[in-house]
Each structure stands twice: as structure tokens, then as C-alpha cells.
Amino acid sequence: MSGFDKVVTSYAEAMKGLSDNMTIIAGGFGLCGIPEGLINQIKSMGTTGLTVVSNNCGVDGFGLGVLLEDKQIRKMISSYVGENALFEKQLLANELEVELTPQGTLAEKMRAGGAGIPGFYTATGYGTPVGEGKDVKHFDGRPYILEPSITGDFAIVKAYKADRFGNCIYRHTARNFNPMAATAGKITVVEVEEIVEPGELDPAHIHTPGIYVDRIIKGTFEKRIERKVLAKEER
Amino acid sequence: MSGFDKVVTSYAEAMKGLSDNMTIIAGGFGLCGIPEGLINQIKSMGTTGLTVVSNNCGVDGFGLGVLLEDKQIRKMISSYVGENALFEKQLLANELEVELTPQGTLAEKMRAGGAGIPGFYTATGYGTPVGEGKDVKHFDGRPYILEPSITGDFAIVKAYKADRFGNCIYRHTARNFNPMAATAGKITVVEVEEIVEPGELDPAHIHTPGIYVDRIIKGTFEKRIERKVLAKEER
Amino acid sequence: MALSRDQIAMRVAQEFKDGDYVNLGIGIPTLAANFVPEGIEVMLQSENGLLGMGRYPTEDEVDADMINAGKETVTAINGASIFDSAESFAMIRGGHVDFTVLGAFEVDVNGNIASWMIPGKLVKGMGGAMDLVAGAKNIIVTMTHADKHGNSKLLPACKLPLTGVNCITRIITDLAVLEVKDGAFHLQERAPGVSVEEIKEKTAGKLVVPDNVSEMSV
Amino acid sequence: MALSRDQIAMRVAQEFKDGDYVNLGIGIPTLAANFVPEGIEVMLQSENGLLGMGRYPTEDEVDADMINAGKETVTAINGASIFDSAESFAMIRGGHVDFTVLGAFEVDVNGNIASWMIPGKLVKGMGGAMDLVAGAKNIIVTMTHADKHGNSKLLPACKLPLTGVNCITRIITDLAVLEVKDGAFHLQERAPGVSVEEIKEKTAGKLVVPDNVSEMSV
């Protein structure tokens, strides 16, 4: 099934077509489950004016944080940012725009975007700054706000294993936002630890079916740990 | 973790609390992946006035079809019905109400109900009888209709294996509507082929996390096949 | 001469591109899987929750837990994935399925389709048809050009309750291949031996006929 | 005397019922896991996508792919499940998590909570807090009764931008346990040795005090 072989062998090929002012949806939570090599490729391409949709923006010098160094990001859509000094600096200098979005709303916006649902109602954020200016509707007497979905020109995703058809599985909590991100890109690129042949992954336990995936590249990962905490007896 | 042991040993206990005029959300597609024993228990309880949300209504004498025999169902919310003569008869005699709902909308309504999303927009059904009387909103110039979510007093679900905590996996395409149904019941009851101990199922490959499940019962299943079609050389 | 069911399916299969994800409705659409051209690979999606649907099973392979959207026993190919119905329709409604082929009672010049309900007859339901026509990127309708009484199914405006609006762009009938755009049916190909006059006669909606109408190769 | 952080956590843990699914915020709420009473079992949900969060890992168990919502390395118990963030918040927003415990800057007599943003200071974001307060069945806010300047955090109306409205029904501070209903704080318990007068003094919002206010047992 050569038409379904999505493996590419260079990062240049993986991110081909990315251009200035595009929107990128990125999987990952903090530094866990992030497509390290794809992010570095974006850095080396020097693409600017990017809108990046991701729960966080990495740290100084690692993860999405590296895209701040040459001011490639124009806008972040995130639930929690500012773990890095450079982020704070650019934000305060108005060189960077941030749209803060509740974590669950962000996850659901990505899922909805991928699923052809242009908007959904949620109680989250009603009566807060997040709800300002948004449509309000009552269901069973309770107020909800309308949240539009999100899609991107590219989605960049980190998976554990993928077969050549693009079927992916994730490892432990490195799953996080990755499956939703994978559905929401016009072009979805997945960086994986291991590529296997179709049939090697159990069809009943695929996390991201290949239909969502356009390109797969095998990466190597540093997997930096943000907060290493040990059991008491080990401290 | 005795507080999380959800196994019950009798069907009476499994469906305890069901009463007349309740709404039941049932997993299954046709006769595939249906909670056979739970349906039979409802029949033996004789509960009436039920609203049943299920993609189909079984066949004469099997699956949800048995609940028609004593006119226990007042209303079906389904995408495709009438594979049984009794259903047609009761429908034509106005003894049964049917709310036809597109299959994808039905699946999404169950998911939304379980996920605390009271309504979502979809293009499905716009401009058709399904869209009549529903709110219309344009996103990017395209019209969408607002679909409210569905929840039930009970959800009845068929899984392959479950551990005592209620973590479930489904087998092949018997998954279908079951995972969404499981999230949308005030009380969710799962009938399974095999009960295992916590830790036996891979945490990364649980289809329905135990948090959605209230009761588990081990059943035996006939698994009737609706349309057995064989490869040509076998015919 | 009007195409046979197999010939319609054969012509449909010529539309497929290598690497397409395809959802085939019940009837003629399903037959298209038998005629995928040499060198082209498509992957079949079944809306109950299967991507990579394979052939029908042998007696030994029959499994009640493995069925397709038509409730028939099936198998899965190597590299298939199985998922729940919400995920399945997320694929469909999100535009990830490249091609949907389905039957219809009527299509009109505005791309509206009626395929699920005939008032006065028992209504069994729309199943996934409304989701499919609202979601797929490309939809092909296959049907006979006229009903058995000779009444056209290509209309100025659908008379039956609709399945979807402004969604059909391509129709393959036993007589012709037509594009639907700008409020008209645009004739593109005719069945071998079928005259443009016969197609005109059996098309009730506005028909645009180019100077040259090539014959289908089936 | 005002409760220590551990004592507040201990009092919080007394609220748990056997079989509760619980989400604990960062700080004092997390400590509550250490004080779950004998005979009671709770299961911890971490909103990045883990149900059945276990203890912190040993050096050998540390795995960059296994973290909690505070981005700390963790382990999973036997019978845990791991899922994506949309599923995780479906659990939270759908009301399947029985208990949420979280900190706050301010709570007011209408159950409004402010916990994520102080104008003029750098805003890092709300993370999952807005989802949690809008979704969980029972929410307990833990905080000191007053800030370090002695200003009450239990107000007639929150002054800071809100995290959620009409959602807080129970508060456990270093001085008291209070219920929020009918536009007032209802004093239920006081910390050992803390007088009702001190609580009155440090509660800016309307406070309802019953005839007898028992001491917490911590």
C-alpha cells in the first residue's frame, strides 16, 4: 500500500510547506511528549509570524522556547506559559501576544477542530475574563459560553510508535494533547521513537488512526524532565 | 481498594434503581456489542415508559427488540430502526415514538453528554427535517445547527474485559457506541465477557476508564450475527 | 447502452487516487471496491468504527464482533485501526475521509440530495448518510439516471425530504458522468452507446452539454 | 492556633468518602493525599491524563513520559488508566470527578472564586483551574483565612478576576471550615484554640455563626 506510506527521512521534508504567519498546533504538556526535532526544524527554517497553539511554551532553550530566541512566534494560544524568562521579556515588550485558554477548553477546541465541530458550549470560563464577549446560552438553567474550535496549517505531534500507515500509539502521559493535535492540522507531522510495519500495532489499541497523519519521521529525543521529584525514602 | 470494586453478581443488582419512564442509553450497533443480559433483565423487570437511546432497536426476539414485546419502550432515539416487524407495527399504531438522529450526531450527543458539553454545532442535518426548529449559526460562512447533548438515568454497555475498578476494553467493532454510552449514564452498568484484576489491563490501552463505570457484571453472550457474508471462494 | 451495476462501480473506481481514504455506501458503491485500478491503493472506512476494512471472512474467520456499517461480517487488513463511533464520525465530519460514494433517490442542480425518506413509506432512518454528505471532502452519488417509470432523478429541485444541501458535486449514473455546479448539471461523459439526446431527455434539471461529450471507458 | 499546612490537608482528607475520585491542586491540596483516613480509599486524577496516580518514583522508576499535572515525575497504581487531555477534561467537566481540592486568592459569599490572576503581576495562565471549578461535583477551597497583611480572603465580592462563578460551596482555611450558601459564609468548625471572634474579625464577607461551633479534630 505505497500510497499510504507516510514515512519521510529528513526534517526538511517533514516540515515542507511551512511558511510565515501560519498556525501550528503542537502536542505536549510542559516538556513531556513534545516533538523535539520538529520544533528544532522550525527554528532552523527561521519561519516567523507564527501562531502556536500549545498548552505551554517550553522553557528557555528547550522545546517551543527555542522559537522565541529569534522571535518566530507572534502569538501563543495556551493555558499556562511563562516558565521561561525570554517569554516573559517578549510578552512585557509587546513582541508576543498570548491568548490564555483554559486547559480543558484548549483540548476540546483542538478535538472539535479535527472533528468538524465549529463550536461547542462549555461552563468553563463563564463569568470570567475568558467568557468576555462570547455568546452565552442557558441549558437547564445554567449559563454556558460558546467556544469556537481550532485548526492549524500544521500539527506537530510526538508519538511513541507509528506504523508506515500513520497509526500511532503514545507512551504513558506523553499522550496528553498529542492525539487532539494530530486531528487538527491541515498537514499533520508525527515525530516518533520507533517506526514499525503495518500490522505490528494492535488495531484495537491505536491511539491516532493513520487517516489523521500525513508525514512520519523517526526522531531521537532528549526527553528533558521539568520537575524530578522522588519518593521520600529516596530523597 | 474495596471502595472501587464495582463487580456485582446478579442482574437484579446490576439494574437496581431502574424505574418506569427513565432514559436508558445503550451501546451496540445492530446486534454487535450489545449488553444481552442487561437487556433481558430490563425485560424481566417489566419497567415501562422507557426512552431508549441506541443506534438501533435490535430484531424481533433479540437485543432491544425484546423490550417491544411488552411495550416497555415509549420512545426510541436512534439513527436506524425497523429491522423488526414488531417495531414497525407499534410505530404505525402510534404505540411507539421515534426520534431519528443521524448516526454521527447521535454518537457525538452521547459523548458531549458525558463530557459536560450541553450542545455543539454540526453541519449534519442542516436544511433537512433533522434541522427543523434548531438554532442555526454560521461559522466561516457555512451554516451549522445546534445539537443538544444526551444523558441517561442508566447507561447499559457491553465490554470485552473489565477490571474490578471498571476499566474496560472492547473487542473489534463491538466497541461502536459503547464507550460514549458508558460516559453518559447517571448509573453506568457494564456487562463483560471476562473480569480481571486491576493491573492486568495495560493503563495506556484502556478504552473506558473506570471513573465512568458504576457496576460490572460478568455475562454470557449469544452474539447473534445479523448478516453473515463469506468471502467469494467460500460461498 | 446503459451501464450495468458493475460498470457503474467500475467507473466510480476510476475516480480514486492512490492513498485515498474512502467510505462506500451500501449497494453499487460497495461494488467499487472490486474495481480499484492497478497501481492505486485505497483504504476503506466503515462508519461503525473500522479503518482498513478487508474482504469478507472465510467460515473460519467469521467473528460476530467484526462487522461493517452494513452489519455484514468482514475482516480487517494489516494496518487497520478500530475505534468508537464518535471517533469514526469525527473522521467523517472533520473532512478526513477523502471520498464518499453513496446512492440517492434524487439530486438537484444545487447539489441537494434526497436519499433516506419517502413520505408515506415506513421511515427506517438516515443512519450515517447525513453525516457523510455533510462531512466528506468529495462525494460521488451513484444511481440510475431515471427510476423504473422513466422519471428523472436529476431534478431542478429535490421533491423528497433532503439528506443534505449544496453538497453533491459529482454524479455517476448508468448513462452519464455529471458535475454539479452553478445551478446546473454539467455533462462530462456518456455511457458507451448512449446518446446525448437520451441523457437530455432523462435529465429534468438544467443540463449543460459541451460540444464534445466523450464516452466513458468501462 | 491556626492550622499548619499539614493540618489543613489532614482536615481536607476527612472529607473524602471511600471510592471517591479526587483531583488535588498544587500545594496544600496535594498534601491531602498523605492523610487519607484508615479504611477509606480514594483514586487520584491528574488532569494531564492519568487516573490512579501513585507515589513519586524511586530513582530507578523515574520516567520523563510519566508526569502529573504539576509536571512532577510520578508513578501509576495498579488499575490506573492513561488517556488524552480531552478525555481527562471530559471526566472533569462531565462531573465524573467526585472531589476537587484547590487553592484560591479569594472566595466570596456567592461562591465565586479568584485564583489565577493578579492584575499588574505577570499572568501565567489558568491551566485547568477554570475547568475544574466549572466541572467537579464537589469543590473544596483551601487557603489561609487572611493574607500575610491580615486582609481577609473571604469577601463580600471577589476583587480579582474570577476563575469561576457560583461554584464554591466549602472552604477549609487555617482557622475554620465554612459552607458557602444563601449569600453568606456559614461557620461550621473552628481550628483548635481559635476563637469565633478571630474568625469573625478575619472574615470580610457576611458570616453566619451557629450557637455552637465545634473544634476541628486534626
What does the pLDDT read at residue C23? Answer: 97
Averaged pLDDT for residues A133-155? 98
Q: What percent of chain B has pLDDT over 90?
A: 94
**The pLDDT of residue D121 is above 90:** no
C-alpha cell at B215: 457496576
C21: nearest CB among A115, A206, A211: A211
Catalytic-role residue among C15, C47, C198, C215: C47
Closest CA in chain C for residue B171: C65
A120: nearest CB among B120, B123, B172: B120
What does the pLDDT read at residue B82? Answer: 80
What does the pLDDT read at residue C218? Answer: 83
Smallest CA-to-CA distance from A116 within B100, B124, B129, C165 is with B124
User: Which of A36, A106, A139, A173 would you mutate first to test chain D, the one with the most D CBs within 10 A?
Assistant: A173
Instruction: Report yes or no: B123 at the A interface, CB cutoff 8 Å.
Output: yes
C-chain residues near B93 (CB < 8 A)? none
Q: What span, in angstroms and rounded, lies between the C-alpha atoms of D125 and B187?
A: 35
Pairing of strands B152-163, B185-196: parallel
C-chain residues near A3 (CB < 8 A)? 17-20, 40-42
Q: What span, in angstroms and rounded, lies between the C-alpha atoms of D177 and D188?
A: 5
Closest CA in chain D for residue A231: D56
Q: Number of A:C CB contacts under 8 A?
A: 74
- pLDDT bracket for residue C137 (50, 70, 90): confident
**Within chain C, what is the greatest distance between any pair of CA atoms?**
56
> Touch between chain A and chain C (3+ CB pairs, < 8 Å)?
yes
CA distances from A53 to A79, A130, A150, A157, A197 (A): 10, 16, 9, 12, 31
For residue B199, the distance in angstroms to the closest alpha carbon of chain D comes to 4
Computed over every residue of chain B, the mean pLDDT equals 96
**The pLDDT of residue B234 is above 70:** no
Averaged pLDDT for residues D7-30? 95
User: Which of D17, D21, D81, D85 would you mutate first to test chain B, the one with the most B CBs within 10 A?
Assistant: D81
B204: nearest CB among D51, D78, D82: D82
Dihedral over Cα of C46, C49, C50, C56: its sign:
negative
Q: What span, in angstroms and rounded, lies between the C-alpha atoms of C40 and C32?
A: 13
What does the pLDDT read at residue A83? Answer: 84
- Whether ipTM exceeds 0.90: yes
**The pLDDT of residue C29 is above 70:** yes
Q: What is the pLDDT of residues A190-235, one digit of tens each?
A: 999 999 999 999 999 999 999 999 999 999 999 999 999 999 876 5
Q: Which residue would you say has higher pLDDT here, C165 or B234? A: C165
The answer to whether the CB atoms of D81 and B209 lie below 8 A apart is yes
Return the H-helix or E-strand segment holding B87: helix B85-92
The least confident of C57-61, D93-97, D116-120 is D116-120
**The pLDDT of residue A180 is above 70:** yes
Number of neighbouring beta carbons within 10 Å of residue B5: 15
User: Which of A5, A6, A165 would you mutate first to test chain C, the one with the most C CBs within 10 A?
Assistant: A165
Q: What span, in angstroms and rounded, lies between the C-alpha atoms of B18 and B22?
A: 7
The answer to whether the CB atoms of A116 and C135 lie below 8 A apart is yes
Alpha helices in C20-68 (DSSP H): 28-31
Subunit partners of chain A (3 or more CB pairs within 8 A): B, C, D
Q: Check if the beta carbon of residue B55 is closer than 8 Å to that of residue B80.
A: yes
Averaged pLDDT for residues A19-31? 98
Contacts of C92 (CB under 8 A, 6+ apart): A116, B104, C23, C45, C47, C100, C128, C131, C132, C135, C136
Q: What is the pLDDT of residues C74-126, one digit of tens each?
A: 999 999 999 999 999 999 999 999 999 999 999 999 999 999 999 988 889 99
What does the pLDDT read at residue A1? Answer: 53
Q: What span, in angstroms and rounded, lies between the C-alpha atoms of A134 and C171?
A: 41
The verdict on whether C59 is a catalytic residue reads no
Closest CA in chain A for residue B144: A118
D-chain residues near B187 (CB < 8 A)? none
The answer to whether the CB atoms of C94 and A183 lie below 8 A apart is yes
**The pLDDT of residue B235 is above 70:** no
Computed over every residue of chain C, the mean pLDDT equals 96
For residue A127, the distance in angstroms to the closest alpha carbon of chain B comes to 17
**The pLDDT of residue C139 is above 60:** yes
Angle of helix A103-114 relative to helix D85-93, nearest 10 degrees, comes to 120
Number of neighbouring beta carbons within 10 Å of residue D30: 18
Averaged pLDDT for residues D105-134? 94
DSSP state of A212: G
For residue B165, the distance in angstroms to the closest alpha carbon of chain D comes to 7
Catalytic-role residue among D15, D47, D179, D198: D47
- pLDDT bracket for residue D123 (50, 70, 90): confident
Q: What is the pLDDT of residues D59-94, one digit of tens each?
A: 999 999 999 999 999 999 999 999 999 999 999 999
User: Which of D48, D58, D85 would you mutate first to test chain A, the one with the most A CBs within 10 A?
Assistant: D85
Q: What span, in angstroms and rounded, lies between the C-alpha atoms of A185 and A206?
A: 19
Q: Number of A:B CB contacts under 8 A?
A: 56
The answer to whether the CB atoms of A119 and B116 lie below 8 A apart is no
For residue D99, the distance in angstroms to the closest alpha carbon of chain B comes to 12
Q: What span, in angstroms and rounded, lies between the C-alpha atoms of B170 and C87?
A: 15
Single-letter amino acid, residue D183: G
